[in-house]
């Protein structure tokens, strides 16, 4: 697809966000054709630029999250900045911010002030705890949010060695993507009504949808899930991570009966243990011992193309070399830095027919890279 035929072609986005949730949301919009202008503090830019590891002058994480955007460096505490931003706000379709509640208001950029300039703007605020409530101004990060909502308590690993989850679920799944969905809904509503709106995206609010099974179980049975003790948290033989003889792991998820029966046949589980309702702990113990006695290569061959929902856990490097993902073009994006070096960059979940050709090299902007272009246009 060409830039002019992408779904969000012509949509203008002002991005005041930093770190992960907001920048990823803005990146998805940019990948779908939106013109995203990142507003940063002069000199140092946003914090993510200075994280490790570096790739050229900037952090590689920043480069991946901000490719294809423009950068305008402004000191938002200066009154002059508001005058510069006013014409940009007038023509913007979307504004995304990620400060604590009240910060944008103190800067003169709260929703009411912005809506007076542009009543049609879709103004999206992403915060940990939302714009209202006793915790609205509490500082936090992903681990705090999943801890406060009970999600972390469902699977933390052994009590003496609790495990930090590998994915930033609150930031991405409960922050970035709800922001994207609601921005698109608000743009659709605006087509019908002509009015903009203020979206209050609270990451903690959106985490509860990941626990519908746990909430239902607790409310109906009175037995609230504990860490690692339930079906989808590793508490049964039907959904478990099994160590192998050579230090690898089998990810086994034969939940449905037909998959379970085939799994039992393949690992040769004793007949008396195959009805796992009788003695779940004994079934799990036996399955662990059987799989631990074999090497990962053996289990890979046994499970290959079998209907049992089992696989060998791969490293990230192995997964990125998987022909399945390569053939689907997942790593076809080309990311460049200021020195001309290039690396593949993953798509951010815009389906192929709705995104620009991934072979076009994209780069993240330097701090204030587009100041001259934008200021010249404003002054005309």
Catalytic residues: 141, 171
Q: What share of the chain is helix, strand, coil (3-state, %, to 5)?
A: 45, 15, 40
Q: What is the 3-state secondary structure (H, E, C) of 106-154?
A: HCCCCHHHHHHHCCCCEEEEEECCCCCCCCCCCCCCHHHHHHHCCCHHH
Q: Across the strands, what pairs with 363?
A: 336
Q: How far apart are CA 84 and CA 328, in angstroms?
A: 43
Q: 335 exposed, middle or buried (CB, 10 Å; 0-12, 13-18, 19+)?
A: buried
Q: How far apart are CA 184 and CA 217, in angstroms?
A: 33
DSSP string, 178-243: HHHHHHHHHHHHHHHH---EEEEEEHHHHHGGGGHHHHHHHHHHS----TT-SGGGT-BTTBEEEE
Query: What is 303-371 written as a DSSP string?
Result: HTT-TT-EEEPPPHHHHHT-HHHHHTTTT-EEEE-TTS-EEEE---S--GGGS--TTS-EEPPPTTTTH
């Amino acid at each position: 697809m060409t830039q002019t035929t992408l779904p969000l072609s012509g949509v203008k986005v002002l991005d005041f966000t930093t770190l992960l949730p907001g920048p990823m949301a803005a990146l998805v919009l940019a990948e779908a054709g939106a013109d995203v202008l990142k507003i940063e503090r002069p000199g140092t830019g946003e914090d993510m630029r200075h994280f490790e590891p570096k790739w050229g002058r900037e952090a590689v994480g920043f480069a991946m999250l901000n490719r294809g955007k423009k950068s305008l460096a402004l000191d938002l505490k200066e009154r002059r900045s508001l005058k510069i931003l006013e014409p940009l706000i007038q023509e913007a379709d979307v504004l995304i911010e990620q400060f604590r509640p009240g910060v944008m208001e103190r800067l003169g950029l709260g929703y009411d002030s912005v809506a007076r300039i542009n009543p049609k703007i879709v103004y999206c605020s992403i915060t940990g705890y939302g714009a209202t409530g006793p915790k609205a101004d509490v500082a936090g990060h992903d681990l705090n949010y999943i801890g406060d909502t009970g999600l972390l308590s469902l699977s933390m690993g052994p009590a003496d060695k609790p495990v930090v989850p590998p994915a930033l679920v609150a930031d991405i799944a409960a922050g970035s993507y709800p922001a994207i969905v609601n921005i698109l809904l608000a743009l659709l509503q605006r087509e019908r009504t002509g009015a903009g709106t203020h979206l209050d995206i609270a990451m903690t609010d959106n985490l509860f949808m990941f626990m519908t099974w746990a909430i239902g179980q607790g409310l109906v049975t009175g037995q609230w899930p504990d860490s690692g003790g339930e079906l989808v948290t590793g508490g049964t033989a039907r959904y478990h991570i099994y160590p192998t003889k050579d230090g690898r792991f089998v990810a086994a998820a034969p939940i449905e009966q037909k998959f379970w029966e085939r799994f039992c046949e393949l690992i040769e589980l004793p007949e008396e243990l195959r009805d796992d309702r009788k003695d779940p702990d004994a079934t799990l113990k036996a399955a662990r011992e059987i799989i631990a006695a074999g090497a990962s290569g053996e289990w890979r061959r046994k499970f290959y193309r079998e209907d049992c929902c089992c696989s060998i856990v791969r490293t990230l490097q192995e997964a990125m070399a998987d022909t399945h993902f390569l053939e689907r073009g997942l790593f076809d994006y080309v990311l460049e830095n200021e020195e001309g070096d290039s690396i593949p960059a993953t798509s951010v979940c815009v389906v192929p027919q709705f995104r620009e050709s991934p072979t076009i090299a994209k780069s993240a902007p330097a701090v204030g890279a587009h100041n001259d272009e934008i200021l010249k246009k404003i002054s005309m």
